[in-house]
Structure 1
Amino acid sequence: MSRSQTRTLIDDPLGGTVRRTVLPSGLCVVTESIPAMRSASLGAWVGVGARDEAPELSGASHFLEHLLFKGTAKRSAAEISEAVEAVGGESNAYTARDHTCFYERVLADDLPLALDVLGDAVSSSLIADKDVEIERGVILEEIAASADEPAEVVHELFNRAVFGDGPMGRDIAGTAQSVRAITPEQIRDFYHRHYLPSNLVVCVAGGVDHDEVLKLVRDCFAPLPSGAQAPPERRRDALPERPELLSVEREDTEQAHLVVGCRTMSRKDERTYALGVLNNVLGGGMSSRLFQAIREERGLAYTVSSSTSYFGSTGSFSVYAGCGPDNAREVRDLVVAELARVVADGITEEELHRGKKMYQVGVIMAMEDSSSRMDWLGRDELLYGELMSVDEDLARNEAVTMDAVRAVAADILSQPMTTAAVGPFDRGAFE
């Protein structure tokens, strides 16, 4: 019989002790024990998301996110929510393109209860026909609500333009058509194919003990299939050869919503650190170039910011702005011009320092919260396949040079930029 394998990965006197155990079934358990904390955050991270869905199953991962709270043989939907809230805790979940996460936050003393509720929901969901129909209606309302939010619609337009009509470009929640068509049997089959111990990571951070967590996880997640099974093969990030450069949806809104950006690299590319610094310089705060040029100097927009997203084999850089419809073309052109300027001229030493510092302070402040620490563990283990200490991460950020920023700007931001827009205009406003 194979045995559990436990390793101490990080032992930081200023932080916590990170330990990792892989059970015989393949279920991975990662904890960070921080004696000074009186709270505990726990999450079940599943290696399945929107990118893993066939077209006819678009929205299945998100559907399951809803359904796993709807009841087990042990608890009804009301009892699942009441159990955690009765001790003042919080519970929720989210679906992403490459994973699904179910998480809770409680006092450390209530960890046994929280793990029991979490394990029960994730490993023993009934996915009853009646619950599927109830949540189908809820999800259709959620999709309709998103369609009424132009700031959300414009990001979906951008994703589809950049990543195409495949899984990477589709809405995570699916479409109204796909959600109406999916059957309870299809959802149950999707659940049993993907919710395997080998495709699951349980993370706990806070005032906890690894051995105690391990014992609780063995019991609470016991209903999962026994025996080691290989995780399902992930779908490739199929992308069009060239992104679409302009996508416009006409809506009679008071404000125009713009996203300008391009594809980048995968999450495991070392250049993400240099692009992160550049992102902070361009749109990371009120001192950023785009904020100053568009809002402070010209008063053309209330909101303007930039962001990065990374996936298995690709990623994106994007700038979002909300402005008056009459200013949309000018704002778009200013964004493109600022990106071109940083490609041509690079950034200053002061900007390099500020871009690094913004990242470092954000990481350090986040690490004072058990939820952020649990999130760090889950992402590293499930998505990166390695656990990196905060100090190592900060050191990689600090090692970014002017040359590295200039190189990543030339490589990424010299591409033709995709523009997505929602507002009271047609494509001609930008062509």
Structure 2
Amino acid sequence: MTRTPRTTARPTTAVGRAVAHPPIPSRPHARGVPAAFPSGGGNGAGTVRKTVLPGGLRVVTQSVPTVRSATFGIWVRVGSRDETPALNGATHYLEHLLFKGTKRRSALEISAEIDAVGGEMNAFTAKEFTCYYARVLDTDLPLAVDVVCDMLTGSLIRAEDVEAERGVVLEEIAMTEDDPGDCVHDLFAKTMLGDTPLGRPVLGTNETINALTRDRIARFYRRHYDPTHLVVAAAGNLDHDTVVRQVREAFERAGAPADADAEPVGPRTGSRRIRTAGRVDLLDRGTEQAHMVLGMPGLSRMDERRWALGVLSAALGGGMSSRLFQEIREKRGLAYSVYSYTSGFADCGLFGVYVGCRPNLVHDVLKICRDELDHVAEHGLGDEELRRAMGQLAGSTVLGMEDTGALMNHIGKGELCWGEQLSIDDMLAKISSVTPDDVRSVAREILGQRPSLSVIGPLSDKQSARLDEAVA
């Protein structure tokens, strides 16, 4: 949000978010009675427990008794894909406004109360969800619960705050546009998904932000910030029943709906397919480098083959020993930054290769990328490459779960996006079960497609005219 880069701004390399929080089979539980899921993984984390409160609010926690901190977050099932063209950017704008004051706290008091205990508080908006969170000492968890719940349920969204924050959001858009290595990923989404909710930028545009009014944002808030659309997640040195009680009291204090028959809204579903192929989008900018993403449709986050695609991406551009890094940077010295990544949504996905290089090297770099992708599509990975990629994916998965913030993200996103949880041990088992045939099959399907290309940089007319060759 305002205080840190968006999670969607620069996709993660190698593993990608498509495999960050996968599902396990659901287990039935009675309303108001916590369900328990073993966590596994040997990182000191305990059982994941879940309670559904009257009104449809879900609370999931994971106890980590070996630490002295806790992270508390609230996940909202709303992102930029829920916006109409006229509302583009409203989700992120609203995220800013919830920090501007409630009936009980001013904007200063919201931040000062967390600062006073040495905590950190933030939020982020993505295409399919929004998350607000605070990380504090375990003894200060009740304060974090109270402050974050107050923000989510009691925001005033005053007209003067909307006007004041408009300039901040416009500056964030300008900051993103000043970073071509960031902006090119938004361009790639537009190239692949077009003028659709998933293809439009999370931040919105200058035009849509300037057109948004207080009333439209407030209606958006009331429509989407219902308890049935929320998942409360907490991880750290905590007690599940205590967190549930504190959350219940906070929502009751705010007068949140408590309809005993209300059911939580389930994970997103759909059957969107990306059919874009051979499209080239060039944004002419006077930068020192040309920033490129070459890619094609990938897999949705619901697709079990995402594990094989994660291994494939790790082998292609997930580390210093990956094919693209070795061929483009180590052997030829053509670029400093090169990586591959996957982005998985509820009903579709993207696979991309990013490279930043001098403009006169664009065509050489693109040819190497195409040659490597075509070779792997036809022949798959060698045994050593496969072993190394699986090890890297497994290691990064575990190392990425070594703090309470990561665990909160894992259980919160798991509940919101899949309605289920997956232990670290189960994720490692999924990765180790990937076979050479699995990787060969997904490589043939994904990499065998005709790619599209997005470029930001100062290319000459002659260079620009040749870009079609890269996707032919």
Alignment TM-score, normalising by the size of structure 1: 0.96
C-alpha separation in 2, matches of 1:264 and 1:341: 18
Moved more, 143-152 or 255-264: 143-152
| Aligned equivalent of 1:148 | 178
Pairwise CA distance, 1:5: 3.0
Answering whether residue 257 of structure 2 is matched by residue 225 of structure 1, we say yes
Moved more, 146-155 or 5-14: 5-14
C-alpha separation in 2, matches of 1:205 and 1:229: 26
Answering whether residue 33 of structure 2 is matched by residue 5 of structure 1, we say yes
| Aligned equivalent of 1:430 | 467
C-alpha separation in 1, matches of 2:273 and 2:376: 27
**Moved runs in structure 1, 4+ residues, more than 3 A?**
11-14, 228-241
Pairwise CA distance, 1:429: 3.9
Pairwise CA distance, 1:306: 0.8
**RMSD, matched Cα:** 1.7
Name which of 164, 169, 172 aligns with 1:134: 164
Pairwise CA distance, 1:244: 5.6
Judged with a 3 Å threshold, the aligned counterparts in structure 2 of structure 1 residues 133 and 238 are, in CA distance, closer, same or farther, namely farther
Matches within 5 A, 1:375-386: 375-386=409-420
The superposition leaves residues 342-387 of structure 1 with CA deviations (integer Å, 9 ceiling, x where unpaired) of 0111111111111111111112222221111111101110011111
| Aligned equivalent of 2:121 | 91
The superposition leaves residues 98-140 of structure 1 with CA deviations (integer Å, 9 ceiling, x where unpaired) of 0000011101000000110000001110011111111111101
Matches within 5 A, 1:13-162: 14-162=44-192
C-alpha separation in 2, matches of 1:231 and 1:147: 37
Pairwise CA distance, 1:169: 0.4
Partner of 1:293: helix, strand, or coil? helix
Judged with a 3 Å threshold, the aligned counterparts in structure 2 of structure 1 residues 237 and 67 are, in CA distance, closer, same or farther, namely farther
Answering whether residue 327 of structure 2 is matched by residue 299 of structure 1, we say no
The superposition leaves residues 294-333 of structure 1 with CA deviations (integer Å, 9 ceiling, x where unpaired) of 0111111111011111001001111111100000111111
Judged with a 3 Å threshold, the aligned counterparts in structure 2 of structure 1 residues 295 and 146 are, in CA distance, closer, same or farther, namely same
Amino acid at match of 2:322: S
Pairwise CA distance, 1:238: 5.7
Preserved contact between residue 38 and residue 206 of structure 1 (Cα < 8 Å): yes
Amino acid at match of 1:330: D
Name which of 351, 356, 363 aligns with 1:322: 356
C-alpha separation in 1, matches of 2:204 and 2:257: 28
Name which of 180, 190, 209 aligns with 1:179: 209
Amino acid at match of 2:160: K
C-alpha separation in 2, matches of 1:283 and 1:382: 29
Pairwise CA distance, 1:229: 4.3
Moved more, 401-410 or 243-252: 243-252
Judged with a 3 Å threshold, the aligned counterparts in structure 2 of structure 1 residues 314 and 238 are, in CA distance, closer, same or farther, namely closer
Pairwise CA distance, 1:430: 1.2
Partner of 2:187: helix, strand, or coil? helix
Pairwise CA distance, 1:424: 0.9
C-alpha separation in 2, matches of 1:405 and 1:300: 28
Amino acid at match of 1:225: P
Preserved contact between residue 278 and residue 451 of structure 2 (Cα < 8 Å): no
Amino acid at match of 2:206: A
C-alpha separation in 2, matches of 1:237 and 1:188: 31
Alignment TM-score, normalising by the size of structure 2: 0.88
Partner of 1:221: helix, strand, or coil? helix
Unpaired stretches in structure 2, ≥5 consecutive residues: 1-29
Answering whether residue 292 of structure 2 is matched by residue 258 of structure 1, we say yes
C-alpha separation in 2, matches of 1:168 and 1:24: 33
Pairwise CA distance, 1:173: 0.7
Preserved contact between residue 52 and residue 235 of structure 1 (Cα < 8 Å): no
Amino acid at match of 1:97: K
C-alpha separation in 2, matches of 1:312 and 1:4: 28
The superposition leaves residues 190-237 of structure 1 with CA deviations (integer Å, 9 ceiling, x where unpaired) of 001100111000000010000110111001223223325466796967
Size of the aligned set, in residue pairs, is 430
C-alpha separation in 2, matches of 1:208 and 1:303: 41
Q: Percent identity?
A: 48
Preserved contact between residue 161 and residue 244 of structure 1 (Cα < 8 Å): no
C-alpha separation in 1, matches of 2:56 and 2:221: 17
**Which structure's relative contact order is higher, taking Cα pairs within 8 Å and 6+ residues apart?**
2
